[in-house]
Structure 1
Amino acid sequence: MAVLNEEQQMLRDGAQDWVTDRAPVSAFRKMRDSGETTDKALWKEIAEMGWAGIVIPEEYGGSDFGLTGMGLVLEETGKTLTASPLFISGLVAATALKEMGSDAQKSEWLPKIADGSAIVTLAVDEGTRHDTARTKLEAKASGDGYSLSGTKTMVIEGMAADAMLVLARTGGAAGDTDGLTLFLVPADAKGVTRSPLAVFDYRGYAKVSFDGVTVGKDAVLGTVGGAHAPLEKVLDVARVGIAAEMLGMCQQAFDTTLAYLKTRVQFNTILAQFQALQHRMADLFMELQLARSVVEHAVRAIDAGSDDAEEAAVLAKGFVGDVSNRMTRQMIQLHGGIGMTDQYDAGFYIKRSRALEATFGNQAQHVERWAQMRGY
């Protein structure tokens, strides 16, 4: 574990205590069984603790603890699979508004995100594979603004959102990185239709259709047609946030499995005494430590604006996704038959892991991106 300053230590300790007391995995199971995708009472508590404003500057009601602070919280919530809009609203949308928004947009929305009174999401994907360059949703100039028509899918917290940051094409063709523009669209705008999606990690995804949705020029974030590069930086922040959550899941999966091996008796022997299983757990432990190092480097590189921040983000999402895949599979295998049942928690972890692996680019995409960055 990297050395934390006093504020970061307090933030992490507070998050550990809260998730243990208020948001254990049993709370997630109860929410799942109820058919809900977000516990509104827990989200209210999260906002009251100030976590929704961790990356938001103090002038807008946040604490400005950066991605390092948010990463510490996401790691803890990842351990217990806490379902909330914290990631998409408190990190992703807040970062997009902070980096790309106008002064008026920041003043209106960042305080609302910070105090939890508004949930803002990011709508970028249109197919089964994440690729912002293939955006087809069209934004035509209309009067003093634009008219948006098209569909977005897998919009995180799409049903609960009060506003959406929508990536649309104002020029070029699908596949071009030029001609992409990010718009701030109220979720209740005329022409917006939202449909919930049933996803195996039991989170609040939605399919959102835009049928001639009219927005003004003041809805544009950044420059018209120039959203691709700055949005990719925002998405890199999101990818590191995902890596931090997966790190927490990996740690919990490892700890739970190790505890099981130390108590389960088979052939009159504690499972942990079998050398083959000791070797397997030792390998997983080493991968877990590597994953932690990768995430800690990435959050600090982004907070410091380092030249290698992009590489660090790509490495974090790709590598930790790989570790999460192996860790959750081993969790089920080493628990044997009980690991396959719904009454045990292992299934929750592997499902959430698969969903996060695909969010904003899977391992294969990031390996390819890494190779391109290195000139291979």
Structure 2
Amino acid sequence: MDIQFTEEQELLRSSVQRLLRDQYDFDARRKIVASEDGFSRKHWSAFAELGLLAAPFSEAVGGLGGGVLSTMIIMQEFGRHLVVEPFVETVVLAGGLIEEAGSEEQKQGLLPEIIAGNEIWSLAWSEKGSRFDLATVTTTARRDGDDYVLTGEKTAVMSAPWVDYLIVSARTSGHRHDRGGVSLFVVDRRAANLDLKSFKTIDGRRAAEVSLREVRGQLLGREGDGVAALEACRDRAIGALCAELVGAMGELNAATLEYSKTRKQFGVTIGSFQVLQHRMVDMFIAHQEALSLMQHLNLSLSAGEEAGLSRLASGAKSKIGYAGKFIADQAVQLHGGMGMTDELNVGHYFKRISSINIQFGDPAYHVLRYAQLDAAA
């Protein structure tokens, strides 16, 4: 599959490429990750000024109307440069949920601050023992006046140490595994009785365990409809993460090919050995298959196709995840011991691919989910 991009989409791609090439090389990225904050507010503001934070949103809420395909373009370039700023968490997850599930007042009040780069958001949905199931929720919410009061624990909330607001899933009715009764709430990071235990992830980003003890929150969308909104949001997030993964895979292939042309063993370059040539051909094929599947998924998301969309998302997450792991493994091995050193970017791509593979479900989980959805269809 080969998408024919419009003039505006090509302009977006070239603008992102130019910005990242000039300001976000590997050394700059390493300094950002090693800093106290762990991300760059300067670059986040630059993304806002360039319109990247506005690109996916509709014009009705102040966006540029680029939709899913603009997210795909941005994320593929972010994957090439290992960008750590929370675009997926703020724009795709939180922003997407606000636009799809929020009231008109919430859309007009919350999204402009995201688009302008003034606020950072994240989604807190995962709990201990939930095993990627969006409906497994033990955090509770009870009505108290115009707001709700939330109590519970959320685990591995990506970018939580940076955020101004969280969208938290909590149960307003039903039992732990019920699809019904899960609602979404906007929670201020500075709210009383909200505690974070921050930590670094394997790929150098930041996440946190979130504890809520009688924390006040504002209902987002309709009470009890949270799972359906989260499932649609997950499909969009998978499309974005697959685009990032494909971008990272392409850079690993390019770095490995270049290394094979310069690294000598037994007096000749290692790229002259036929067995290694075959291996790099396999890496190239895996990347091209992943690229085609990623584009197919994002085109389907953009077209608003409903039939089979979740099944396609799971298939893509699994297939592209396995392809990414294969390419990352081969790239590290072909670079030898230096493949995992901090000074070389190969190991950092390996870690990022490993991290993407467990977000919203690892490849094995999505193989099973694909089979279940296929049987149900």
Short-chain TM bin: over 0.9
What residue is the counterpart of 1:242 in the other structure?
241
Task: Name the CA distance, whole Å, in 2 between partners of 1:327 and 1:157.
Answer: 27
Q: In 2, distance between residues paired with 1:349 and 1:52?
A: 24
Supply the distance in 2 between the matched residues of 1:298 and 1:177 (Cα, whole angstroms): 25
RMSD (Å) for aligned C-alpha atoms = 1.4
Q: How does 1:222-371 map to 2 (within 5 A)?
A: 222-306=221-305, 307-371=307-371
Report what 1:118 is aligned to.
Answer: 119
Task: Tell me if the contact between 1:318 and 1:362 (Cα under 8 Å) persists in the aligned partners.
Answer: yes
Describe the shift of the 1:161–1:34 C-alpha distance in structure 2 as closer, same or farther (beyond 3 A). Answer: closer
Matched residue of 1:149: which SS? strand
Higher mean alpha-carbon deviation, 252-261 vs 222-231, is at: 222-231
Instruction: Name the amino acid aligned to 2:32.
Output: M
For 1:179 and 1:207, how far apart are their aligned partners in 2?
23
For residues 166-216 of structure 1, give each alpha carbon's deviation from its aligned partner in whole angstroms, at most 9, with x where no partner exists: 00011112122121101111111222112212222111211111110123x
Decide whether the 8 Å contact of 2:311 with 2:374 is kept in 1: no
Structure 2 CA distance for aligned equivalents of residues 309 and 64 of structure 1: 22
Contact 1:56 / 1:63 at 8 angstroms: preserved in 2?
A: yes
Structure-1 residue corresponding to 2:194: 192
Alignment of 1:147-166 (within 5 A): 147-166=149-168
The count of corresponding residues between Structure 1 and Structure 2 is 373
For 1:204 and 1:50, the matched residues in 2 are separated by 25
Write out per-residue CA displacement over residues 288-345 of structure 1, whole angstroms, 9 at most, x where no aligned residue.
1110011111111011011333232222222111111111111110001211322212
> Hey, what's the Cα distance between the residues in 1 that align with 2:194 and 2:98?
21
Distance 1:15 1:62 in 2: 17
Task: Report the Cα offset of residue 35 of structure 1.
Answer: 4.2
Distance 1:176 1:134 in 2: 7
Deviates more, 1:203-212 or 1:305-314: 305-314
Following superposition, the deviation at residue 246 of structure 1 comes to: 0.6
Following superposition, the deviation at residue 244 of structure 1 comes to: 0.7
Range 36-45 or range 292-301, more displaced: 36-45
Provide the rounded CA distance (Å) in 2 between the counterparts of 1:249 and 1:374. Answer: 29
Asked if the contact 2:89–2:123 (Cα under 8 Å) also holds between the matched residues in 1, the reply is yes
8 A Cα contact 1:120 1:161, kept in partner: yes
Aligned position for 2:178: 176
Q: Quick one: distance in 2 between partners of 1:261 and 1:127?
A: 44
Is there any run of 5+ residues in structure 2 with no aligned partner, and where?
none
- What's the secondary structure of 1:205's corresponding residue? strand
- Deviation track 1:144-163 (CA, whole Å, cap 9, x = no partner) reads 43210011121121111111
Matched, 1:40 2:41: yes
Q: Distance in 1 between matches of 2:76 and 2:68?
A: 12
| Match in the other structure for 1:86 | 87
Q: Which amino acid aligns with 1:357?
A: N
Q: Which residue of 2 aligns with 1:208?
A: 210
1:17-45 deviation line (CA, Å, top 9, x unaligned): 11111111211111233343211111111
Per the TM alignment, residue 70 of structure 1 is displaced from its structure 2 partner at its CA by 0.9
- Report how far residue 231 of structure 1 moved: 1.4
**Secondary structure in 2 aligned to 1:225?**
coil
Mapped partners of 1:327, 1:61: distance in 2: 39
Query: Is the 1:139–1:149 contact (alpha carbons within 8 Å) kept by the matching residues of 2?
Result: yes
Secondary structure of 1:197 counterpart: strand
8 Å CA contact 2:173–2:181 kept in 1: the answer is: yes
Structure 1: stretches of 5+ with no match in the other structure = none
State how far apart, in whole Å, the 1-side matches of 2:354 and 2:288 are. Answer: 21
Selected match of 1:138 from 133, 137, 140: 140
TM-score norm. by structure 1 comes to 0.96
Give the Cα–Cα distance (whole angstroms) in 1 for the partners of residues 308 and 7 of structure 2.
Answer: 27
**Identical aligned pairs, as a percentage?**
34
Q: Give me the whole-angstrom Cα distance separating, in 2, the residues matched to 1:34 and 1:115.
A: 24
Amino acid at match of 2:183: T
Matched AA of 1:124: W
Contact kept? 1:61, 1:115, Cα under 8 Å: no
> Is this contact kept in 2: 1:52–1:91, CA < 8 A?
no
Residues 126 and 151 in structure 1, CA contact (< 8 A), matched pair in contact too = yes
Does structure 2 retain, via aligned residues, the 8 Å contact 1:196–1:206? yes
Q: Over residues 55-78 of structure 1, what are the superposed CA-to-partner deviations in whole Å (9 max), with x where a residue is unaligned?
A: 111122211101111111111111
